[in-house]
Amino acid sequence: MTEARTGKRFPLHLPIKIHAEDSSSDASGITSNLSAAGVYIRAEAALEIGSPVEFEITLPPEVTGGKQDVTIHCHGRVVRTDDPTAGTPQAESRGVACVIDSYEFVRNS
């Protein structure tokens, strides 16, 4: 199996809000790692490989070096899903790997 990742990944555990484009419900989760090209999420969302997804990640000031939160609004697609792992604290959540196709920074007021 070849490595498909590009770019440096950062092990950031940040809250994420997921808006599946083919669903009317939002889901929340936690990032496990993040890069400019993609994100790995632990969430209760049941997303299909290849499906488009929209999500928001909020970066706190201690991550950005700023004085307020910064939200990254992303559009992407699901490239991998992992089943929930029994016996772990995240037993109800599944892993979801997403490619980020586009993003914009939104300053929170």
Which residues span the domain enclosing 41?
Answer: 15-107
User: How confident is residue 1, by pLDDT bands cut at 50, 70 and 90?
Assistant: very low
The pLDDT score that the predictor gives to residue 106 is 84
Instruction: Indicate whether this model's pTM tops 0.85.
Output: no
Q: What secondary structure letter does DSSP report for 10?
A: B
Residue 42 belongs to domain with CATH number: 2.40.10.220
Mean pLDDT across the stretch 16-25?
Answer: 74
Measured distance between the N- and C-terminal CA atoms of the chain, rounded to whole angstroms: 45
How far from 59 is each of 5, 68, 70, CA to CA, in Å?
A: 22, 9, 5
Counting the structural domains of the chain, the total is: 1
Report if residue 46 sits inside a domain. yes
pLDDT digits (tens, 9 = 90+) for 49-72: 999 999 999 989 988 888 988 899
